[in-house]
Amino acid sequence: MTILAVFRSRAQSLDFLAAAKAAGIPAQAVSTPKEAGVGCGVSVKFDGGFYQRAKTLVSKRPYSSFAGFLRGAGGGYFYDDR
């Protein structure tokens, strides 16, 4: 399953991408889907098997623009925690 970490800031998205890779999470920058309702345009995509690790990483860093995690399902994306 695919997970996207969604941010309102391009700089924070790219910072999280670098931090995720440094923490051993295989991740890549992707265009933010319209379902996110966020305007930055860049999200971080990773496999759901790394979700808990990514969630912990986000909680330990000062990401003021973090909008949440989107979970890929049924051909679309849905917020995990809403």
Q: Could you tell me the pTM of the whole model?
A: 0.89
Q: Can you tell me the distance from the alpha carbon of 15 to that of 71, in angstroms, rounded to the nearest whole number?
A: 21
Helix, strand, or coil (residue 37): coil
Quick: pLDDT tens for 38-57: 776 899 999 999 999 999 99
What domains are defined for the chain? 2-79 (3.30.70)
Burial of 49 (0-12, 13-18, 19+ CB in 10 A): exposed
Q: Can you tell me the distance from the alpha carbon of 63 to that of 13, in angstroms, rounded to the nearest whole number?
A: 9
Block means of pLDDT (10 residues each) for the chain, 82 residues, are 93 97 97 82 95 96 93 80 53
